[in-house]
DNA sequence: CGCTGATTCTTGAAGTTTTAACCAAGGGTG
DNA sequence: CACCCTTGGTTAAAACTTCAAGAATCAGCG
C-alpha cells in the first residue's frame, strides 16, 4: 500500500524521469490530436468513438451498460452521460434488458454504424500516421508488452468500487 | 475487416490493433489512477499538479503563461482556467510581466511549494508502483524511445494554431 | 413471504475542458 | 504617425467528467 514514511521518498532516476516526461508529452499530445481529429471529422470525442467501436464489434451490436463501461475502462456514470448524448445524436439507442429488469442495453443504430464506417478510415490514418508509421515492428511489439504489463497492474481487483479504482 | 469507402483504408494489422488496444487501456487506466491519487492526496487533478512541477523547476519559480502552456502541452485557454483555479487555492499567483505589458507570469507561491513537496513522495510512489516497478530497465529505455518518436511527430509545426494542433 | 444487502443504472451539481470570440499590446511598414 | 497583422492572454458558453446520492431490481435467507 502507501508506505511513505518521512524517510527517503525514493525519487525517479534520471532515465526514469526522462521516460516519464516523454510518456506524458506523447500521451497528452496524442490524445489531444485524436480528440480534435474525431471532433472535426465525426463530431464526437475519442472516448465516444471508442464506445461506438465496442458496440460495432459486439454480437448484435448491443452491450449491457456495465459491460460496455468495463470494455472502455470508464465509470458507469460517465457512460450514462455519454450514451445520453449519443442517443440524442441518434448513433445509439437504449433498450431494456429482457433477462434483468434493472439492465439496459446500448444498441448501435444503423445511422451510428454509418457514421462509424465513415469516420473509421480517417481515424485509422491518424493513428497510423502518429504511431505505426513511425515505429519499427519491434517497437510495436515492445509497446504492446509494456502497455499490457502496466494495464494488468491497474485492473479490477481494487477495493470498494465494483471494478474500477 | 469490412468495406472500403474510397480507395484503400489500410486497416491496422492484428499486431498493431492489439498494441493499440493495449495502449488505450493502459493510458486510460493510468491517467484515471493518477488523477484519483492526486485528487485524494493533494486536492487537484494530475494536469494541475504538472503545472506546479513545471513552475517549481523554473528559474525564479515563475514562467510566462505561454511558455508554461507549451511545457505542459496544453492550450492557453485551458491554462488560463487552471491558473485561475490554482490562484483561488493559493498555490499560484499571477504577476505582470515587466518586459511585455501583455504578458503574465505564473508564480508558484510558498504555500504552493509546500503542497507540492507534501504531495510529491506519494505521487512518485504511485508512478513507480504503476510503471517502473513493473518494467525492466530495457523496457524503460524502449518506452522513452517510443514516446520520444511519437511526441516528435505531433509537435509544433501544425498549421493555424501557434504551436498546438 | 419479508428482510437485508448487493447490483444496475441514472441523476444533479460542481468542477474541468473546449471552442470561438475578443481585447490589448507589440512590431513592422509606409 | 496611421495602418495592419501578429502575439499574449482572457472570457463566456457549451460540452464533458466526476462525485455523491438515489431509485429500482435482484438474490439469498430465515
E strand residue ranges, A23-91: 62-64
- Separation of alpha carbons B129 and B127, rounded Å: 5
Output DSSP code: residue A131: I
* Residue matched to cell numbers 514562467: B63
Instruction: Kindly determine whether residue A27 and residue B27, on different chains, have CB atoms separated by under 8 Å.
Output: yes
Instruction: Kindly determine whether residue A15 and residue B144, on different chains, have CB atoms separated by under 8 Å.
Output: yes
* Residue matched to cell numbers 439492465: A103
**pLDDT averages per 10-residue partition of chain A, 165 residues:** 59 95 96 96 97 97 97 97 98 95 96 97 96 97 97 66 38
- Separation of alpha carbons A146 and B45, rounded Å: 25
Give the pLDDT band of residue B9 (cuts 50, 70, 90).
Answer: confident
* Residue matched to cell numbers 446500448: A106
- CB A73 under 7 Å to nucleic chain D: no
Give the pLDDT band of residue B155 (cuts 50, 70, 90).
Answer: confident
Pairs of CB atoms within 8 A across A/B: 178
Spell out the CATH class of B19-154.
mainly alpha
Dig out the grid coordinates for A107 from the structure.
444498441
Residue A164: which of A79, A40, A45, A89 has the closest Cα?
A79
**Across-strand partners of A96?**
A104
Mean pLDDT of B81-97: 97
Contact A87, A94 (CB under 8 A): yes
Output DSSP code: residue A63: E
Contact B85, B75 (CB under 8 A): no
Instruction: Kindly determine whether residue A15 and residue B155, on different chains, have CB atoms separated by under 8 Å.
Output: no
CATH for the A28-119 domain, from 3.40.50.1820, 3.90.1300.10, 3.40.640.10, 1.10.10.10: 1.10.10.10
**Across-strand partners of B63?**
B106
Distance of A164 CA from D14 C1′ (whole Å): 29
* Residue matched to cell numbers 521518498: A9
Question: Hey, is the C-beta of A15 within 8 angstroms of any chain B C-beta?
Answer: yes
Residue A14: which of B140, B60, B44 has the closest Cα?
B140
Distance of B67 CA from D6 C1′ (whole Å): 17
- The nucleotide minimizing the C1' distance to residue B48's CA is C16
Question: Hey, is the C-beta of A117 within 8 angstroms of any chain B C-beta?
Answer: yes
- Separation of alpha carbons A89 and B83, rounded Å: 34
Contact B124, B113 (CB under 8 A): no
* Residue matched to cell numbers 528559474: B59
Output DSSP code: residue B106: E
Of the listed ranges A56-60, A73-77, B16-20, B159-163, the least confidently predicted one is B159-163
Instruction: Please determine, for residue B146, whether its predicted confidence score (pLDDT) is greater than 60.
Output: yes
pLDDT at B3: 45
Residue A108: which of A69, A50, A55, A38 has the closest Cα?
A55
- Kindly report, residue by residue over B48-69, the tens digit of the pLDDT: 999 999 999 999 999 999 999 9
Distance, CA of B116 to chain centre: 16
| Closest-approach residue (CA) in chain B for A13 | B132
Which residues lie closer than 8 Å to B87 by C-beta, 6 or more apart? B93, B94
Question: Hey, is the C-beta of B117 within 8 angstroms of any chain A C-beta?
Answer: no
pLDDT at A14: 95
Contact B136, A146 (CB under 8 A): no
pLDDT at A155: 78
- Separation of alpha carbons B93 and B109, rounded Å: 6
DSSP string, B134-159: TS-HHHHHHHHHHHHHHHHHHSTT-S
Instruction: Kindly determine whether residue A139 and residue B137, on different chains, have CB atoms separated by under 8 Å.
Output: no
pLDDT at B157: 52
Question: Hey, is the C-beta of B22 within 8 angstroms of any chain A C-beta?
Answer: yes
Amino acid at each position: 500500500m502507501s508506505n511513505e514514511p518521512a524517510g527517503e521518498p525514493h525519487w525517479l532516476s534520471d532515465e526514469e524521469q526522462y521516460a516519464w516526461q516523454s510518456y506524458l508529452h506523447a500521451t497528452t499530445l496524442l490524445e489531444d490530436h485524436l480528440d480534435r481529429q474525431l471532433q472535426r471529422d465525426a463530431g464526437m470525442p475519442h472516448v465516444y468513438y471508442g464506445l461506438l467501436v465496442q458496440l460495432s464489434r459486439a454480437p448484435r451490436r448491443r452491450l449491457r451498460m456495465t459491460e460496455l463501461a468495463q470494455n472502455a475502462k470508464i465509470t458507469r456514470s460517465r457512460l450514462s452521460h455519454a450514451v445520453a448524448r449519443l442517443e440524442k445524436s441518434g448513433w445509439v439507442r437504449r433498450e431494456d434488458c429482457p433477462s434483468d429488469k434493472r439492465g439496459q442495453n446500448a444498441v448501435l443504430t444503423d445511422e451510428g454504424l454509418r457514421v462509424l464506417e465513415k469516420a473509421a478510415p480517417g481515424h485509422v490514418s491518424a493513428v497510423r500516421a502518429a504511431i505505426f508509421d513511425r515505429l519499427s515492428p519491434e517497437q510495436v511489439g515492445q509497446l504492446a508488452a509494456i502497455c499490457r504489463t502496466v494495464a494488468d497492474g491497474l485492473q479490477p481487483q481494487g477495493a470498494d468500487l465494483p471494478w474500477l479504482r
